[in-house]
Amino acid sequence: MGKVTTATLQKMKQQGEKIATITAYDASFAKLFDQAGIHAILIGDSLGMVLQGQDDTLPVSIEHMAYHTQCVKRGVENTLIISDMPFMSYATKEQAFDNAAKLMQAGASMVKIEGGLWLADTIAGLVERGIPVCAHLGLTPQSVNVFGGFKVQGRDQDKAQEMIEHAKALEAAGAQLLVLECIPASLGKAISEAINIPTIGIGAGKDTDGQILVMHDALGISCSYMPKFSRNFLIDTGDIKKAIELYIDEVAAGNFPGDEHIFK
């Protein structure tokens, strides 16, 4: 496929080709995933939980994110690199501009921020300054204390319709990608059909334009628990690179996620 860009992902959506993405936090795994043909790597603030052993993502700093972005960048040739903006690093537009610049200078091709309509002006400002943005709706882990825990979002009809409208607004503001986390499969489908930019699901059903998994879950090495929406691909292959290749193939074929991985 060669170098993957935001234009590549947009073309894949238009052609009905599924996008496979995964998290990574260092050069070694990033290189392996790049060689396996993964389309995008997210340096997630999930590193707070899977690397640092935190209870949630809130303690992760912009310095942590920049460091791990630099590490991943050194292992990648073709894969699109997306970096998470951590908790309270984009509370104001000025903060967002400064911190997004740090991640782009560290090697990111795109930054990801969590939240709905209130971020529209921030996204527009980032895009105007040459910084591509991936938005994130549904269960946004940085808001876990507001939600009262890690809970499925958008099951109420009014909340579902509100999320669709937020997705449209984020696209209009200039977001080029949208992560949908822990929502009913029917809502994942509705949002994916309502907007023109690619949607990447994690616990959002099989009708999103792509899927993302935390690498520790995909390889069965998470120290806490296996989320309902995940699958251990390593157990089927016994080889890490082959496990990621299987993940990519299963996403492309529409076999993952299966019915056992989705919320209704």
**Is 192 flagged in the annotation as binding?**
no
Judge whether 84 is annotated as a binding position: yes
pLDDT at 144 (0 to 100): 65
d(CA 48, CA 43): 11
* pLDDT confidence bin for 55, thresholds 50/70/90: confident
Return all residues near 157 (Cβ < 8 A) that are at least 6 apart: none
Rounded distance between C-alpha atoms, residue 102 and residue 70, angstroms: 10
Per-residue pLDDT of 199-247, as tens digits, reads: 999 999 999 999 999 999 999 997 667 889 999 999 999 999 999 999 9
The residues, any chain, with a CB within 8 Å of residue 263's CB and separated by 6 or more, are 152, 182, 183, 184, 185, 203, 205, 228, 229
Position 59 scores a pLDDT of: 95
pLDDT at position 175 is: 98
- Annotated domain spans of the chain: 6-261
Q: If DSSP states are collapsed to H, E and C, what string results for 26-64? A: CHHHHHHHHHHCCCEEEECCCHHHHCCCCCCCCCCCHHH
Q: Please spell the DSSP secondary structure of 129-171, one letter per residue.
A: TT--EEEEEES-GGGHHHHTSS-----SHHHHHHHHHHHHHHH
% of the chain with per-residue pLDDT over 90: 90
Residue 143's pLDDT is: 73
The Cβ-side half-sphere exposure at 158, using a 13 Å CA radius, reads 0
Q: Which amino acid is at 136?
A: H
Q: What is the set of active-site residues?
A: 181
Q: Inform me whether the pLDDT recorded for 121 exceeds 60.
A: yes
pLDDT at 6: 97
Is residue 112 a known part of a binding site? yes
CA distance 237 to 115: 37
Token pair listed for 264: 């209704």
Between 143 and 37, the higher pLDDT residue: 37
Q: Supply the mean pLDDT for the chain.
A: 95
Determine whether 30 is exposed, middle or buried from the number of CB atoms within 10 Å of its CB (0-12, 13-18, 19+). buried
> From the CA atom positions of the chain, what is the Rg in Å?
17
**138-196 pLDDT tens trace:** 988 777 656 555 678 999 999 999 999 999 999 999 999 999 999 999 999 999 999 99
Q: Say if pTM beats, i.e. exceeds, 0.85.
A: yes
Fold of 6-261: TIM Barrel (3.20.20)
User: Is 46 labelled a binding residue?
Assistant: yes
Is the pLDDT at 101 greater than 70? The verdict is yes
Is the separation of the CB atoms in 161 and 153 below 8 Å?
Answer: no
- Cα–Cα distance between 52 and 121 in angstroms, integer? 33
What contacts 63, CB < 8 A, 6 or more positions away? none
What local confidence, expressed as pLDDT, does residue 170 receive? Answer: 98
